[in-house]
Structure 1
């Protein structure tokens, strides 16, 4: 029975890749929106370095495993020198406090640069994305910022034939296929943000590419399709020390049904937070995070599947480690990417 489930799982993965190759899923994207939108590059007044690891559907052989490294930094003398720190009243204000909102000022116009490497392994199929990102941030009003961004790079897909159990190991449909492919990658996005709300729209995988490994004629119809993300969030101040931050994500990928996430984060000052997430017809998750210092933050999430996969998997684990380098203002928590 387990072997049958494994075969069906691998088959479904290959069909999914053929119909519309999807980017990896994340539970904690809300704390690292660079994964979805290049317009957040350089949004903070320090170098933001994050490493993440996600083990999806643990206990199920061949289930997806994703790891990533992202880098984001402001670029421009005015912003880097600290002039844009005027957007806060200084280190005395917790970004999750009402006082921070009252004294908020938009950042100085500046550039942002970034880099990300995402590796995703699902059964015999592995995908690696390598992208450089750029964004330009502009204060539209005294309290509202708007940025536009682009990400460009390469996408590598490979099929490990050794992981496949074939009736004919030398099947020419597989053995003579293109089992290692490099393709160009392009994404764009916009991001609007203030002290107590944000919204963003982005599109990934804009360059349509063949996405197949076999030599059959039908495989010529396998093309990648654009993926669209619409997201937004707000801060609701419950007290001087507690802030509730609901957010949502809408994902549009043809021919898949429209999917959405609803997230809730409760922060205690700027040191500790807990949260929950719901993905329609897929999963629920619990989240926990600590801002340990002005250098290090760490977060963890556990995701429980609400689909039929719950009968064969032990849930999904995801952990993210963040470093805030060149943090001259000694900020404990992010001011704009919450």
Structure 2
């Protein structure tokens, strides 16, 4: 029996609890993937398209592709404060920006995210629509509350399964896929130079089995909890340094901890590094090309026992800043 088939049967039929959401190394640049409260946080329509190859060189290793977009509703996104620039292309993240920062007015935000994740013979496709309301707590502080809902399709490629026993009873009356409801909630507290967020994905636990036999109905989707926070320091007028932490909790699975640092110069170019406990070291870099495009790449060096077979993980993300009326080059609230 293939090793990935064994993993699949454990996950879907025997009730193993594990991280069921995709892994991302560049979460700092697109926390919207983890938290719907970021819907409409920017002064423009923020679009991201990304692809991740996990554990390159390992047969049937996870591959993830996603597209996300979110924007503010109405004209409130044109708030007249430190985000409104007198000339095109001013650096929105210079030290003077934080000194003159004022919180955005209360406003609504919406968005969507579509994710396709495949590992071995198991694939998951999720589509969610999000909504958030951004409260103005004071002149320099906002709190956003968000929710996202949609559907998730979990499927198995039966024709790709190789069995020692073709009559395995766990596959009697097997269905190719299951449609399940999906729900996420989150909160995001942010100011000029810091953020803290808490979110829960897969809020609604769902039974998960591909067999028609009820005795194999022990697998299920479980909630995933994310807590992340970061703070931007200025080493010089045009040089900043942002350390951040991400904690991921899934029931009956060891707590996952990501530690990251990111250094930016004039918010045109940036480099970063991170460590994921008992999993990987990663290196990242990005370039804000102009007021429409930005591009980033990360590479993970596997530190777990999988490094004997894995050649590391690759992740590339293309960003678009649509309806960018102030022609800013750097994402203002994506760190």
Q: TM-score, normalised by structure 1?
A: 0.94
Q: Secondary structure at the match of 1:162?
A: helix
Q: 1:280 to 1:16 in 2, by over 3 A?
A: farther
Alignment of 1:122-271 (within 5 A): 122-271=119-268
> Counterpart in 1 of 2:61?
63
User: Any conservation in 2 of the 1:89–1:103 contact (CA below 8 Å)?
Assistant: no
1:113 to 110, 115, 118: 110
Alpha-carbon distance, 1:167 to partner? 3.0
Whole-angstrom distance in 1 between the partners of 2:10 and 2:94? 48
Alpha-carbon distance, 1:224 to partner? 1.5
Q: CA RMSD in A?
A: 1.6
Alignment of 1:48-87 (within 5 A): 48-79=46-77, 82=78, 84-87=79-82
Whole-angstrom distance in 1 between the partners of 2:28 and 2:198? 14
> Counterpart in 2 of 1:47?
45
Whole-angstrom distance in 2 between the partners of 1:148 and 1:162? 43
Alpha-carbon distance, 1:270 to partner? 1.3
> Counterpart in 2 of 1:323?
320
Alpha-carbon distance, 1:13 to partner? 4.4
Whole-angstrom distance in 1 between the partners of 2:283 and 2:200? 27
> Counterpart in 2 of 1:8?
3
Task: Establish whether residue 274 from structure 1 lines up as the match of residue 271 from structure 2.
Answer: yes
Alpha-carbon distance, 1:215 to partner? 4.0
Whole-angstrom distance in 2 between the partners of 1:240 and 1:15? 53
Count residues in correspondence: 330
1:38 to 36, 39, 64: 36
Whole-angstrom distance in 2 between the partners of 1:20 and 1:47? 36
Whole-angstrom distance in 1 between the partners of 2:215 and 2:302? 33
- Show structure 1 runs of 5+ residues with no match: none
User: Any conservation in 1 of the 2:140–2:191 contact (CA below 8 Å)?
Assistant: yes
Whole-angstrom distance in 1 between the partners of 2:233 and 2:75? 34
> Counterpart in 1 of 2:17?
20
Q: Secondary structure at the match of 2:198?
A: strand
User: Any conservation in 1 of the 2:47–2:69 contact (CA below 8 Å)?
Assistant: yes
Structure with greater helix share of residues: 1
Residue-by-residue CA offset, 1:64-97 (whole Å, 9 max, x unaligned): 0000000111112232xx2x14143625752332
